[in-house]
Chains A and B, each alone.
Chain A
Amino acid sequence: MKPPALHSPWQQARVQLYQRPLALAALTVLLAVVAVAVVGPLLSSYDFATPSWDEIYQAPSLRHWLGTDALGRDQLVRVLWGCRISLLVGVAASLVSVAIGVLWGATAGYAGGATDSMMMRFVDILYTVPFIPLVVVMTVLFGRNFLLVFVAIGAVSWLDIARIVRGQTLSLKQREFIEAARALGVRTPTMIVRHLVPNLIGVVIIYATLTVPTVILFEAFLSFLGLGVHAPLASLGSLVSDGADHLQSQPYLLTAPAVLLALIIACFSYLGDGLRDALDPRTHR
Chain B
Amino acid sequence: MLRFLIRRLLIALPTMLLIATLAFGLLHATPGGPFDSAKRIAPAIQRSIEAKYHLNEPLWRQYGRYLGDLAHGDLGPSFQYRDTSVNELIRQGLPVDALIGSLAMTFAIVLGGFFGIIAAVRRGSAWDHIPMFFAALGIAVPVFVIGPLLILLFAIQLHWLPAGDWEPGAVRFLILPVISLGFPYAAYIARMTRSEMIDVLGSPFIRTAWAKGLPKRTILLRHALRPVLTPLVSFLGPAFAGVLTGSIIIESVFGLPGIGRYFVTGAINRDYTLVVGITVLYGALIIGFNLVTDMCYAWLDPRVRLHT
Residue in B closest to A114 when the chains form the complex, CB atoms: B307
> Known contacts A164-B231, A170-B297, A248-B152: does B282 contact A258 (CB below 8 Å)?
no
A36 interface residue, CB < 8 Å from B? no
B188 interface residue, CB < 8 Å from A? yes
Contacts of B191 in A (CB 8 A): 206, 210, 269
Residues 273-296 of chain B: 1 if any A CB is under 8 Å from the residue's CB, otherwise 0? Answer: 001001100110011001000000
B202 and A285 contact, CB distance less than 8 A? yes
B287 and A124 contact, CB distance less than 8 A? yes
- The distance in angstroms between the C-alpha atoms of A130 and B22, with both chains bound, is 9
- The distance in angstroms between the C-alpha atoms of A264 and B139, with both chains bound, is 11
Contacts of B15 in A (CB 8 A): 121, 124-125
A120 shortest CB reach to chain B, Å: 8
Q: Which residue of A133, A210, A282 is within 8 Å of B26 (Cβ)?
A: A133
A244 and B148 contact, CB distance less than 8 A? yes
- The distance in angstroms between the C-alpha atoms of A43 and B297, with both chains bound, is 55
Residues 228-261 of chain B: 1 if any A CB is under 8 Å from the residue's CB, otherwise 0? Answer: 0011001101100100000000000000000000
Q: List residues of chain A with CB under 8 Å of any chain B CB.
A: 22, 112-113, 116-117, 120-121, 124-125, 127-130, 132-134, 136-137, 140, 159-160, 163-164, 167-168, 170-171, 174, 202-203, 206, 210, 213, 217, 220, 237, 240-241, 243-244, 247-248, 254, 258, 261-266, 269-270, 273, 276-277, 280, 282-283, 285
B267 and A113 contact, CB distance less than 8 A? no
Main secondary structure of the interface of A (DSSP, over half): helix
Contacts of B133 in A (CB 8 A): 266
24 intermolecular pairs with C-beta atoms under 8 Å apart: A124-B15, A128-B23, A129-B279, A130-B275, A130-B279, A133-B27, A133-B267, A133-B275, A134-B26, A137-B29, A167-B230, A170-B304, A206-B195, A213-B139, A241-B142, A247-B148, A248-B156, A254-B145, A258-B145, A266-B133, A266-B140, A269-B135, A269-B139, A282-B199
